[in-house]
Amino acid sequence: MIAPIDVQFIAGKDGVPEYAIIPFKAFQTLCNHKVREFNEKETIPHEVIKKIHLEDMSPIQAWREHLNLTQAEVAEKMGISQAAYSQMETAKKNRKATLQKIAEAMNIDYLQLKI
């Protein structure tokens, strides 16, 4: 016998169902695989996204401000000058190694800077 799944539907403005919410274990069963555990180090806070998209900040600057750090503080943790760090923060593209060093100084995962 198959047990029923507790499903919740969310309708759009027109009243037609747009989303179905199911228990996570049911989702895993339906997908026939394990979904990775939630890892906060892989998420990006709404405040950071907002700074990037609405205030046109680089991901590095948005994270730094979100963490209430100054450029000088991050530069010191990286062992470089504030001016050198400032160039990294405003660069159009940084190398993976650079992003990893910045992320380590901010205590975040470097993938969180790759937005």
The CATH number of whichever domain residue 99 belongs to comes to 1.10.260.40
- Name the amino acid, one letter, at 14: D
20 forms beta bridges with: 9
Q: Tell which residue, 111, 104, 113, has the closest CA to residue 49.
A: 113
pLDDT above 70 covers a percentage of the chain that reads 86
Q: Cβ–Cβ contacts within 10 Å for residue 69, how many?
A: 17
pLDDT, average across residues 1-15: 77
Tally of domains in the chain: 2
Instruction: Pick 25 or 51 by higher pLDDT.
Output: 51
| Measured distance CA(51)–CA(22) in Å, rounded | 32
Same domain as 45, residue 101: yes
Same domain as 30, residue 44: no
Q: What rounded mean pLDDT belongs to the chain?
A: 87
pTM of the model as a whole: 0.66
> For 45-99, what is each residue's pLDDT tens digit?
999 999 999 999 999 999 999 999 999 999 999 999 999 999 999 999 999 999 9
23: CB partners within 8 A, 6+ apart: 5, 6
pLDDT, average across residues 15-28: 82
Range of the domain at 84: 40-113
Q: What is the pLDDT of residue 29?
A: 74
Same domain as 54, residue 24: no
pLDDT for 25 beyond 70:
yes
